[in-house]
Amino acid sequence: MLDDVDRRIVEALSLDARISVKELAQAIGLSSPSTSERVKRLEERGIIRAFTIDLAPEALGYTLQAIVRVRPLPGKLHIVQQLIADIPEVVECDKVTGDDCFIARLYVRSIGQLDDILDRIADKAETNTAIVKSQPVKRRNPPLG
Amino acid sequence: MLDDVDRRIVEALSLDARISVKELAQAIGLSSPSTSERVKRLEERGIIRAFTIDLAPEALGYTLQAIVRVRPLPGKLHIVQQLIADIPEVVECDKVTGDDCFIARLYVRSIGQLDDILDRIADKAETNTAIVKSQPVKRRNPPLG
DNA sequence: AGTGAAAGATCCTTCTT
DNA sequence: AAGAAGGATCTTTCACT
């Protein structure tokens, strides 16, 4: 899937996506042309999906994070899904097996705001809200092996 | 918090963190020096936490994603937390309020692998597993306003 | 696949307004 | 915050292993 060189490239770019090909090449012990080619192929193979930035929610005023499980009432599934997608504070939502149909992550600035948002779907779904107290594992890469 | 120019910078960099200051400047209609200064300040203010890459789990063979709620047995909280953190397939784990103490997201290559992993904590915690069927909302930024 | 050198292009930052 | 310019830096191409 990924050989050892690819892995090192991915790890280095995960830490700093702005480093030049030259720096990257030195970091992984390869020449610039080879490194450049590797990166290009990782993109072509769809392994590197994008070069992006990591934002700090707290620095944007989002001091509260919640994980909400949502079980739409009978016949309301599609409406609820659309409602959730339309809430900009929902930064991610998965449709899952089991009783809880959706699991959404929300960034909010206060409990009041959270309450407001949940009220919008209260008549169309049962919700179960968990407030995030800490993050024992922050977003990280899975094994690249 | 963020003025309109900052917002456009963040949006542009979210889409492509590799663009040059020059390109970025053109995209947002500002001069290069000003743009450069803005980006630097966004980093200093802790809003841009890092420049990184977005990996495609499927392209790495992770065809299955699961969200596992974990309720440690009495006295096992710390052990369980450590156990979870030590599972490399756990790409993110939150400690939350409520009965379920932890909510973890796992990337796995098969149901068998998921089963193996869950077995490791089966004697120390109750778990509730939901398989991700689709992602109505893929990872996105919260409102930048 | 990878290396090394070189040339050309591009870029960032500084300074002045 | 803009504009120009200098000086550095980089990426890619090419021949070769």
Domain assignments of chain A as residue spans, ordered by start: 4-44, 57-131
Tokens of B86: 């030590």
Task: Report the amino acid identity of residue A126.
Answer: E
User: Which among B112, B129, B118, B116 is positioned nearest to B68, based on CA atoms?
Assistant: B129
pLDDT tens readout for residues B29-44:
999 999 999 999 999 9
pTM of the full predicted structure?
Answer: 0.96
Q: How far does B126 lie from chain A, in Å, by closest CA?
A: 16
Q: Which residue of B has its CA nearest to A99?
A: B130
Q: Which residues of B touch A79 (CB under 8 A)?
A: none
Helix, coil or strand: residue B39: helix
User: Which among B71, B54, B125, B116 is positioned nearest to B89, based on CA atoms?
Assistant: B116
Judge whether B37 and B22 are in contact, CB under 8 Å.
no
- Best interface-test mutation with B: which of A105, A137, A138, A141 has the largest number of B CBs within 10 A? A137
User: Which among B21, B90, B96 is positioned nearest to A140, based on CA atoms?
Assistant: B90
Distance separating alpha carbons of residues B14 and B56, to the nearest angstrom: 16
Q: Which fold has domain B4-44?
A: Arc Repressor Mutant, subunit A (1.10.10)
Q: Can you give the length of chain B in residues?
A: 145
Q: Which fold has domain B57-131?
A: Alpha-Beta Plaits (3.30.70)
pLDDT tens readout for residues B124-135:
999 999 999 999
Of the candidates A60, A65, A137, which has its C-beta nearest B93's C-beta? Answer: A137
The whole-number Å distance from B16's CA to D10's C1' is 19
pLDDT tens readout for residues B65-106:
999 999 999 999 999 999 999 999 999 999 999 998 999 999
Tokens of A94: 């998965």
Count of C-beta atoms within a 10 Å radius of residue B103: 23
Residue showing tokens 């980006």: B39
User: Which among B110, B6, B109 is positioned nearest to B48, based on CA atoms?
Assistant: B6
